[in-house]
Amino acid sequence: MKPKGVATVLLLVSLAVATMIFLSVLKLIAVQRQSVASQARQAQADWLAESALERAAARLSADPGYHGETWKISPQEIDSRDGAAIVIRVDEVPGKPDRRAVHVQADYPDDPYERARQVRDTIVPLKPK
């Protein structure tokens, strides 16, 4: 093989290796970006679940007959591009008429595929009459 032909082959091999490295770095950046977005969704769902527990406690304080709700939050209310859906369920606690079991499920965003879900359970005491 002539020296010019060897140089061309080396150049092509080097270019192929550089391209593979570049594509690998791009893929790594995309995976990292996806991971950060997932963590952000989980954090938002966590805060929404905690807020839902506080909302349920406040509603029970005002109305002991409160049984829960589906709380839809628009993107504007949480300064986001996505909304959220939170299901709050309130049940009686067997043998404890002065307490209610509160179960919340917060989904952010309100999307069946790209959501983060946080679930919380607590017992809330009712105000004495």
Closest CA relative to residue 113, chosen from 88, 87, 82: 82
* Secondary element (H or E) of residue 74: none
User: What percentage of the chain carries pLDDT values higher than 70?
Assistant: 97
Average pLDDT of the chain, as a whole number: 93
pLDDT digit string (tens) for 97-125? 999 999 999 999 998 888 999 999 999 99
Write down the pLDDT at residue 2. Answer: 64
Q: How far apart are CA 102 and CA 49, in angstroms?
A: 11
pTM of the predicted model over 0.85: no
pLDDT digit string (tens) for 24-77? 999 999 999 989 989 999 999 999 999 999 999 999 999 999 999 999 999 999
pLDDT digit string (tens) for 45-60? 999 999 999 999 999 9
SS3 78: coil
Write down the pLDDT at residue 129. Answer: 64
* Edge-to-edge order in the sheet of strand 84-93: 68-73, 84-93, 96-108, 116-125
